[in-house]
Amino acid sequence: MDTWNWQNVEDFMPTFWDGLWVTLQALVLGSLIAFALGLVWALAQRSRFVWVRWPVNLITEFIRNTPLLVQLFFLFYVLPEWGPQWSPLTTGIIGLGLHYSTYTSEVYRAGIGGVPVGQWEAAKALSLPASRTWIGVILPQAIRRVVPALGNYVIAMLKDSPMIAIIGALDMLGEAQTFSDTTFTSEAYTVVGVAFIAIAYPASLLIRALERRLARSI
């Protein structure tokens, strides 16, 4: 059995930092897309117009019920035949954001549904326009309630981020696989495993603390 070799770790670290940077870009930008687009989906699903609700429901259900890996392959290999063509990293960011937006939309819907009816009635009694009601009354309360749930999806996205390596966006795991395949060593995988824990575990503790604090203030 091979023994642990720190030289292999040292040799891997330059490419590890490259992979970490790709992972963080995919995570942060993908999360922003998921949060913003998820809110759009949630509001569209509450529209009084059937021609808005039905297509949105169909799109979100389709995305939610197909594998992320298939969606990444479609965006990178099939979609360019019809026009849009992006780099592997951009495709990965869009794929992650689009996929998780269908989950965050359900979180937003639950948060909006959890706003007391009295808040809607008070806004109506004050004759607030619909835009003011949503922006000033409903959404601040709804988003405050769902912040911990949204944070959980960020962690889930971190766990799924290695999939973008399939289309050429070499994240931490992608760099580790490339390094290990060329050097026939395994230390790189261990380094990446520790890195994922170092990112995900503190984030989960932060989300739990935030959840407890918000629970006390609601």
DSSP assignment string, 70-109: HHHHIIIIIGGGGS----HHHHHHHHHHHHHHHHHHHHHH
Q: Residue 163 gets which letter from DSSP? A: G
Confidence band (pLDDT; 50, 70, 90) for 119? confident
Quick one: pLDDT band at residue 1, thresholds 50, 70, 90?
very low
Is 4 contained in some domain? no
What pLDDT does 21 receive? 96
Question: In the predicted model, what is the mean pLDDT of residues 106-122?
Answer: 88
Is 2 inside any structural domain? Answer: no
CA 127-147-88 angle, 5° bins? 115
Counting residues of the chain whose pLDDT is more than 90, the rounded percentage is 66
Among residues 67, 74, 91, 79, the alpha carbon closest in space to that of 168 is found at: 91
* CATH number where 67 lies: 1.10.3720.10
Residue 217's pLDDT is what?
62
Q: Is residue 151 part of a domain?
A: yes
Q: How many residues does the chain have?
A: 218
49 lies in some domain: yes
Per-residue pLDDT, 148: 85
Return the DSSP state at 162.
G
Residue 1 lies in a domain: no
Over residues 25-69, the pLDDT tens digits come to: 999 999 999 999 999 999 999 888 899 999 999 999 999 999 999
Number of domains in the chain: 1
Residue-wise pLDDT for 166-190, tens only, equals 999 999 999 999 999 998 889 999 9
Does residue 3 sit within a domain? no
Boundaries of domain holding 106: 9-217
Task: Examine residue 30 and state whether it is found in any structural domain, yes or no.
Answer: yes
Going by C-beta distance under 8 Å and a sequence separation of 6 or more, which residues neighbour residue 57?
45
Residue 218 has pLDDT above 70, yes or no: no
- Is position 127 within any domain? yes
The average confidence (pLDDT) of the chain is 91
**Cα torsion angle, 139, 144, 149, 152, sign:** positive
